[in-house]
Amino acid sequence: MPHFRPFGPTALAAALLVPLAGCASVADGAEPHPHARVRPDGTAGDGGGTGDGDSGGTDSGHGGDGADGEDDREDGDGGGDKPLSGFTVVIDPGHNGGNADAAEEISRMVPAGPHDKECDTVGAESESGYEEHAFNLDFSRHMRDELESRGAEVVLTRQDGDGVGPCIDERAEIGNEAGADAAVSVHADGGPESGRGFHVIAPGELDGFTDDIAGPSMRLAEELRDTFEADAGVPTADYLAEDGLDERTDLGGLNMSDVPKVFLEAGNMRNADDAELLEDARWREEAAAVAADGVAAFLLAEEG
């Protein structure tokens, strides 16, 4: 239990409520797929809550038609080599390196949609001890670099791996304030050892929360899924979601967003095959560029 330190009674009580790993849940992987499911008491998850953790949900939304707008993606003159000029993208590296030692702070309840949830969670960890928050930040920085090289303005929700939070509602607010054309929260799951693969989570429709972003968010999810499945060298998840797509109404980071937003769960840190990729610096850089391709495809299709 590397994250445990002596706590006072209050902090200890708070610590017991904080998922230690699993991207969303317990460190020992006792839950079959913690990131995608809400605990029976509705207090945990990648922000816990009382959502229904509905899986599947691939039937809403459609890929962008992209029939027009070719001018903006042509190579050559006039910004053609900067096809994403004018677009703003928010990349949200999930969790943070200080969360494990800030149980009380991250278990504070914050607005997360119809119900409040914990501010943040610790995140998952691979067998060798590679921590999800570090993966998320490195991958997000590569995505940022790639998108910026194509002309996009990119905002990260955290700049380093030493702090605490920000809370899930703040992460969403950063995207809202930026007026982002797309927002991607980067994670790696803490699923069962036997299950591998990536998946993308889109917000299900919640009146007053996500009804305005569910459609474009699903289109973003589909573009990202298609691109990642084709080029990232990791299969779609075989232990949850459906064809690499999931739809959830329990994630505050999605529910509180007013801009199209998805979660990318780039792989399962608890699976040896996935962990080998996730821990590979070169794979992270290449896969992040692939994820950027997916975001770019969405942006250009929406514009068209």
Contacting range for Zn ion; rule: CB under 5 A; set: 105-113, 115-123, 192-200, 245-253: 115-123
CA 7 to chain centre: 30
Quick check: 133 binds Zn ion (CB under 5 A)?
no
Q: Is 118 in the active site?
A: no
Helices and strands (H and E) in the chain: how many: 8, 8
Q: Report the residue from 33, 37, 133, 187 that binds Zn ion according to the rule CB under 5 A.
A: 187
Contacting range for Zn ion; rule: CB under 5 A; set: 9-17, 90-98, 226-234, 247-255: 90-98
Quick check: 33 binds Zn ion (CB under 5 A)?
no
The catalytic residue among 131, 132, 223, 265 is: 265
Q: Report the residue from 23, 36, 264, 269 that binds Zn ion according to the rule CB under 5 A.
A: 23
In the bound state with Zn ion, the residue whose beta carbon lies nearer, of 134 and 300, is: 134
Quick check: 18 binds Zn ion (CB under 5 A)?
no
Binding residues for Zn ion, rule CB under 5 A, total 4
| Cα separation, 174 vs 156, whole angstroms | 9
Contacts of 192 (CB under 8 A, 6+ apart): 29, 32, 33, 239, 268, 270, 271
In the bound state with Zn ion, the residue whose beta carbon lies nearer, of 123 and 216, is: 123
In the bound state with Zn ion, the residue whose beta carbon lies nearer, of 47 and 64, is: 47
| Cα separation, 43 vs 48, whole angstroms | 5
Quick check: 122 binds Zn ion (CB under 5 A)?
no
| Cα separation, 79 vs 74, whole angstroms | 9
In the bound state with Zn ion, the residue whose beta carbon lies nearer, of 23 and 254, is: 23
Contact 61, 218 (CB under 8 A): yes
Task: Extract the tokens encoding 120.
Answer: 């943040």
Contacting range for Zn ion; rule: CB under 5 A; set: 143-151, 183-191, 215-223, 275-283: 183-191
Task: Count CA atoms within 13 Å of residue 157 on its CB side.
Answer: 30
Helix/strand/coil for 276: helix
Contacting range for Zn ion; rule: CB under 5 A; set: 1-9, 22-30, 66-74, 205-213: 22-30
Supply the minimum distance, in Å, between the C-beta of residue 131 and Zn ion: 10
Contacting range for Zn ion; rule: CB under 5 A; set: 66-74, 161-169, 187-195, 244-252: 187-195
Quick check: 190 binds Zn ion (CB under 5 A)?
no
Q: Where are the beta strands (DSSP E) in the chain?
A: 88-93, 109-111, 116-118, 153-156, 182-189, 199-203, 245-248, 261-268
Supply the minimum distance, in Å, between the C-beta of residue 133 and Zn ion: 8
Quick check: 261 binds Zn ion (CB under 5 A)?
no
Closest CA to 278 of 121, 129, 130: 130
The torsion angle over the Cα atoms of residues 87, 88, 93 and 95, rounded to 10 degrees, is: -150
Supply the minimum distance, in Å, between the C-beta of residue 51 and Zn ion: 16
Give the DSSP per-residue string, 192-259: -TT---BEEEEEPP-TTTTTTTHHHHHHHHHHHHHHHHHHSS-PBPSSSSBTTEEEES--HHHHT-SS
Contacts of 60 (CB under 8 A, 6+ apart): 205, 214, 215, 218, 247
In the bound state with Zn ion, the residue whose beta carbon lies nearer, of 61 and 165, is: 165
Quick check: 94 binds Zn ion (CB under 5 A)?
yes
Supply the minimum distance, in Å, between the C-beta of residue 188 and Zn ion: 7
In the bound state with Zn ion, the residue whose beta carbon lies nearer, of 229 and 265, is: 265
Interface ranges with Zn ion (CB under 5 A) = 23, 94, 123, 187
Active site residues: 265
